[in-house]
Amino acid sequence: MKQDTKKNALSALLYIVLAIMIVSVVCISVISVAKKARINGEYPSKSTEMSENTSEESNIQSTSQPEENTTDNTQAAETVQQTEETEKNTENSKVDNEIEEILPADFTLPAEGYVSKAYDADMPVYSLTMEDYRIHDGLDIACPIDSEVYSCADGTIESIYEDPLMGYGMTVSHGGGLRSVYLNLSDKRPDNLYEGASVAAGQVIGYVGDSALIECAEVPHLHFTMLLEDETVDALNYIEFEEGTIGAGAFGE
């Protein structure tokens, strides 16, 4: 009986030791797994969370910073553009002022008569000769054939020529890019006139003729054109005609 009791006690002790060993192994395994999980990032530590939060904040700051830079760059570009436009307008104003200073101060009528057809560079007007509508780049000043033609301002004779459509003509340069053109002239002119000669405002430079083939059905007239920087302009901007002379009717009525 005593031997059986000792055997049973020994067996119980062995079971207890075995149970303790199993529990120890399980605990060690759990601790090991927890350490690996922390190392692999499955269970981040407080320091890891703090570093991640710091990284997120820096990302947010870096993301918002370019927007501020973009705004600054846009404002800078607008400032540069406004400065360039201001400088350009100032330069254009200086050029206009220089041209005004160069242009003649006094203008006179190129012929004694009335404006039978006005200048219009946008709206075509009817041509009696060609029987169609076309741009009229000058003034037709109605006056009798052989009427005197005057230089409208001081200047230099640039060219004397014969145009196949507009007849005998003369161009006078007045400086500042301004030129006056006299067409439908007769083939006679004062002897002292030649290309390069200086002329004064009101000086006789030619006579009205009927040499313009494409305007031969119109009343006798001087076809007078003004150019500024090679672009036609309305002579009425420079020369004042007497009131009531524009569109007064057919010559001789």
In order along the chain (253 residues), what is the average pLDDT of each group of 10 residues? 62 76 73 60 47 50 53 73 69 52 81 91 79 85 96 97 96 96 96 95 96 91 96 92 54 37
Exposure of 120 in the CB half-sphere (CA atoms within 13 A): 13
Look-up: residue for tokens 């890891």?
48
Per-residue pLDDT, 115: 92
Burial 175-195 (b: 16+ CB within 10 A, else e): eeebbbbbbbbbeebeeebee
Per-residue pLDDT, 49: 47
Per-residue pLDDT, 155: 96
User: Of the candidates 164, 205, 206, 169, which has an alpha carbon nearest to the alpha carbon of residue 184?
Assistant: 169
Q: Where are the domains of the chain?
A: 2-43, 114-237
Per-residue pLDDT, 20: 82
Per-residue pLDDT, 44: 46
Is the Cβ–Cβ distance between 181 and 151 less than 8 Å?
no
- CA gyration radius for the chain? 50
Return the CATH fold of 114-237.
Glucose Permease (Domain IIA) (2.70.70)
Count CB neighbours of 29 within 10 A.
10
| Global pTM exceeds 0.85 | no
Q: Give the whole-angstrom CA distance, residue 247 versus residue 119.
A: 11
